[in-house]
Structure 1
Amino acid sequence: MDVPGNPGIGPLLEKFSHVNRIAVLRGGGLGDLIYTYPALNALKLAYPEATITLLGTPVHAAVVAAAGGPVDDVELLPAARGVHDGPRNGQRFEAGAEDTAAQEAFFQEMRARKFDLALQMHGGGRYSNPFLLKLGARHTAGTRTRDAEPLERNLDYVYYQQEPDRWLELAGLAGAPSITAPPLRPKPGHQQNVAGLRDVRRASLVVVHPGATDPRRRWPASNFADAAAGVARKGAQVLIVGDHSEKALAREVAELAVRRLPQADRQSVRSVAGELDLGDLAALLDAATVLLASDSGPRHLAQALGTPTVGVFWIGNAINAGPRGRALHRVHMSWVTRCPRCGSDVTQVGWTAPHCGHDDTLIRGIAVADVVQDVLDLTATSLLLRGK
C-alpha cells in the first residue's frame, strides 16, 4: 500500500519482508549503469542487511571495482536478445549470438543464489521481464510496456522520462524511499595514476569527451576543437579523453584545437584517449574543474562524481539523460527532430519506429561561444567551491 506523505519520485509501497539477497538486472553501457545509482543507493538504505548483486556487463564490473558504491558484486550477463546483445550486424541482433547453453548455465547459477528480490531496470520488459523471471526470485518488480510479461510489481514504461527518476520510482515500488545519492569516489590507486597528467602551470583542468556511442549524439569535432581552444586561451589545460575506438576522433579534436592557438598555449591541449582504464578515467574526471562532452557515459560518470559538466544534447536525450539544475551542470540542446538525410522523424523510439539507418549528427544550431561561456562560468564556480 502507499505510505502517506511520501516525498519521493513516485508511490512508496511496503517493503518486502525477509530480503537478504537482491538482484538488479541492468544491461548496456557506462551511462546506463550510472542512471541506476540513485535507486541502488536507495535500495541499500532501505535494505541495509541485504547484498545487492548487479547482473550487468564488463564495463559495469569495472565501474564497481573502480569506485565502489552500493553494489556488492557483479554477475556478467550472457548474450541474450534485448538484454545483453552479442555481435551486431548493423542495427540487427545476430540470432546466432545467443548462446542458449550459456544462458541456462547462468540461470541455474542465479537460481542457486536464491534471490529474495529481483528488480528489472532494463527497458520496457519485452525481453528483460521473461529473463528476470527465470532467476526464480521470491519477489520481482520492474518496468513494463503493455506487451511485456508482468512482474509482481510493475511500473509503466514511458520512454521520455528522466532515467534516474524512472529507477527511483521503481525503487519506491520495492519500498525504498528516494534519497540524495552520495557522489562516487575513485579509489586512491587510480588517483595516483593520473596525478602526473595535471599541468599545475595552468589555472584549471577542462576534460573534453567528444565521443558518443550513437554518432547522431556527437557534436562535430570542429566545434569541440573551437571550444577547447577557447578555454585554453583563458588559461585552462585541456585533456581530451575517449576509449580505444575514439582515439582518432580525440586526436582530430586535439590537432584542430592546437592549430587555433598561439604558440604559447599549444602545449596545453592534448589527447589521452585510449591511455586510461575506467578507474583512471574516473579519477581524472574527479580531478577536473569541468567536463565538456556530448551526451555520453563519461558525462554521466563525471556528474556522479560531483564534477561540473557542460553537456551538448539532442532534445530527446536531454529529457531522458539531462542533469537537473544549473549550479553544477549546463545543458545545450539541439532541437532537430528529423534525420538530416532522409527526413525520418527521429523522436519515434524503440518499438514504435526502427532506426532509419543514417548516422548524421543531430547536434546542430548550438553556438560554440555559448558553450565556452558556460565552461568558463562553471570553472569560476568550481575553483571557488571545489578548489579544482
Structure 2
Amino acid sequence: MDRARAAAVGDPAAAAATARAPLDAHSVRRIGVFRALMLGDLLCAVPALRALKLGFPQASITLIGLPWARTLVERLPQLDDFIAFPGHPAWPEQPADLAAWPGFLSQVQSRRFDLVLQLHGSGGIANPLVACFGARRAGGFYVPGAYCPDADLYVPWPDSGHEIDRLLRVVDRLGVARQGRGLEFPVQEADRCALERVWPASRRCAGEYVCLHAGAQLRSRRWPVARFAAVADHLAQQGCPVVLTGTPAEAGLARELQAAMRHRAVDLVGRTTLWELGALIEGARLVVSNDTGVSHIAAALHRPSVVISSGGDVARWGPLDRGLHRVLWCDLPCRPCSHELCPSGHECALAISTEAVIDAAQLCLTGEIEHVPQ
C-alpha cells in the first residue's frame, strides 16, 4: 500500500509523513505572508520570515498587512514587497474600509502567489479570507475541527508557547530550517542623523538617557501615569535624562505625565518616525515601558528594559532574554485580557508597585543583570 493510500485509511505514521512532506523550494517563486497586526506582532514574526527567506532563496516574499507596516517592510531584508490590507470588521487593529475590498482582492489575486502563509492567528476568520487570495498552495494555522484549507501545510493552533516559537511551527511544517529566534530592527546612520535634527542632544546623551513609554494601544494595558511619573523623577534624580516616547495620539498622555513630574523630561511623543524611534532606543541606557511595540524594539536592539505587563500574556509576548529585560506582572485569573478598558479595578496594573519598577530599573542601570543570549 502506498503512503498516500495508507494515510487515507488511517495509518497514523503514514498520515504524519504525508502531512509533513516539504515543498519543493525551487517551485516556489512568489510567497505571500498574511499578518495584519501591529508593530510588536510583526517583529515577533521576523525569525519566521528570516527562515523563509533563506529556505526559499529564489522567492519574492510579500507581506499582506496593515498600511502602517509599509515603512517596516521597506527596511526589513526578509521582505520584498507589500500589499495593504483594508481591515476587517471583526478585527480591532484599524477600522475596516469595505469599499477597498474588491480592489484589495484583485491586487492579491493578480500576484498569483505560489504559496500564501496565514500567520495572522488561529484562523477562524483569516483562513476563509486567505483561501480567497488565489494562491497555488496555502499554509498556516487552524483550529482542529474548524476549516483547514490545506491539511498538508497547516498546523494546529498552539495554545501555549512564545509567539516566535508558535510562528516557527509553520516554518517547520514547510520543511525549512530555523535561523534563530532573535528579532531585528535595522537602524541606519540616516535615522541617527534624523533623530539629531529632532533632538540635537541625542548623540551627546547617548548611553545616558532613559526612554519612558507610558502609552499602549489598549488603555487596559497602561500602567498608571502617576507611577510612571514617580519612576521618571527617581531616574532623573539619579542623573539620567528622561525622554518620553509615544505616538501622536498619546501626546495628551505625555502632557499628563510631564505635569505629574517634578523634573523636566525631553518630550519626543509624536515627534519621531518609526526609524527615528529605533535610533532613540538604540542610544538609550534603559527603556521603561508598558508591554507594547517599544519593548520589542528594545529587545531587537539589545537595550536593557523594564516592561510592565498589565493584562498581557507574558509567556507569549515577553522578551526572550530575561536577564537583559525585566518583566513585571501579576498572575490573575482574568489575564490575558483584550478589554479596551478594564471592567474591574485594573488589579493587574495596580499590583505592580512604583518601588518594584524602580528596583528593576536600578538593577539594569548598575549592570547587575545576567545576559542570556537569544
Q: TM-score of the superposition, structure 1-length normalised? A: 0.80
Q: 1:243 Cα shift?
A: 0.5
Cα separation, 2, equivalents of 1:314 and 1:328 = 20
Q: Does the alignment pair 1:71 with 2:79?
A: yes
Conserved 8 A contact 2:191-2:275 = yes
Distance 2:206 2:317 in 1: 32
- 1-structure distance, mates of 2:54, 2:365: 34
Of the candidates 326, 330, 333, which is equivalent to residue 326 of structure 2?
330
- Offset of 1:316 from its aligned partner? 4.4
Matches of 1:140 and 1:281, distance apart in 2 = 35
| 2:311/2:335 contact within 8 Å kept | no
8 A Cα contact 1:247 1:274, kept in partner: yes
What is the TM-score normalised by the length of structure 2?
0.83
Measured in 2, the distance between the counterparts of 1:147 and 1:82 equals 21
Does residue 106 of structure 1 match 2:107? no
Question: Separation in 1 of the partners of 2:214 and 2:130?
Answer: 35
Q: Which moved more, 1:373-382 or 1:304-313?
A: 373-382
The answer (yes or no) to whether the contact 1:334–1:364 under 8 Å persists in 2 is no
Give the equivalent residue in structure 2 for 1:190: 191
Superposition pairs for residues 48-63 of structure 1, below 5 Å?
48-63=57-72
- 2:44 maps to a residue whose letter is Y
Is residue 256 from structure 1 mapped to residue 260 from structure 2 by the alignment? yes
One-letter amino acid of the counterpart of residue 110, structure 2: A
What pairs up with 1:1-388 in 2 under 5 angstroms?
A: 14-17=22-25, 18-65=27-74, 67-82=75-90, 86-87=94-95, 97=96, 99=98, 102-146=100-144, 148-152=146-150, 153-180=153-180, 181=182, 183-195=184-196, 196-198=200-202, 200=204, 204-257=208-261, 259=262, 266-267=263-264, 269-314=265-310, 316-337=312-333, 345-347=334-336, 358=343, 361=346, 362-381=348-367
How many angstroms apart in 2 are the aligned matches of 1:186 and 1:325? 20
How far did residue 201 of structure 1 move? 6.1
The answer (yes or no) to whether the contact 1:205–1:290 under 8 Å persists in 2 is yes
When the two chains are superposed, the root-mean-square deviation of aligned CA atoms in Å is 2.8
The 1:106/1:170 distance shift into structure 2, 3 A limit, reads same
Q: What's the offset of the Cα at 1:120? A: 0.4
Task: State the identity as a percent.
Answer: 28
* Deviation readout 1:1-21 (Å, 9 max, x if unpaired): 9xxxxxxxxx98624441111
User: After superposition, what is the alpha-carbon deviation per residue over 1:133-190, rounded to whole angstroms, capped at 9, x for unaligned?
Assistant: 1111122111112464203222222344321111111121122222224632113222
Q: Taking structure 1 as reference, are residues 85 and 201 closer, same or farther at Cα in structure 2, changes over 3 Å only?
A: closer
User: Structure 1 residues 360, 297: CA separation in 2 closer, same or farther (over 3 Å shift)?
Assistant: farther
Give the gaps of 5 or more residues in structure 1. 2-10, 88-96, 260-265, 338-344
Could you tell me how far apart the structure 2 residues matched to 1:147 and 1:355 are?
30
| 1:83–1:122 CA contact under 8 A, matched in 2 | no
User: Is the Cα–Cα contact under 8 Å of residues 206 and 292 in structure 1 kept in the other structure?
Assistant: yes
Separation in structure 1 between the aligned mates of residue 21 and residue 309 of structure 2, nearest angstrom: 34
**Equivalent position SS for 1:22:** strand
- The one-letter code of the counterpart of 1:81 is P
Q: Distance in 2 between matches of 1:241 and 1:84?
A: 23
| Shift of residue 315, structure 1, vs aligned partner | 5.8
* Distance (whole Å) between structure 1 residues aligned to residue 178 and residue 268 of structure 2: 37
> Structure 1 residues 382 and 282 mapped into 2: Cα distance closer, same or farther (>3 Å)?
farther
- Higher relative CO (Cα under 8 Å, sequence separation at least 6) belongs to 1
Which amino acid letter does the alignment assign opposite residue 69 of structure 1?
P
Cα separation, 2, equivalents of 1:382 and 1:117: 47
Q: 3-state SS of the aligned residue for 2:349?
A: coil
Deviation string, structure 1 residues 331-387 (Cα, Å, up to 9, x no partner): 1012233xxxxxxx455x78xxx889738633122122232232233234499x9xx
Between the aligned partners of 1:289 and 1:148, the Cα distance in structure 2 is 47
8 Å contact kept, 2:43–2:183: no
Q: Deviations over 1:237-274 (max 9, x none)?
A: 110111111111122222322x1xxxxxx34x232111
Query: What letter matches 1:174 in structure 2?
Result: L
Cα distance, 1:60–1:363 mapped onto 2, change above 3 Å? same
Paired residue type of 1:27: A
1:183/1:306 contact within 8 Å kept: no
Whether the 8 Å contact between 2:66 and 2:87 is mirrored in structure 1 is no
Q: Which position in structure 1 is the counterpart of 2:9?
A: none
Cα 1:332–1:237 change in 2 (3 A) is same
How many angstroms does 1:72 deviate by?
A: 1.1
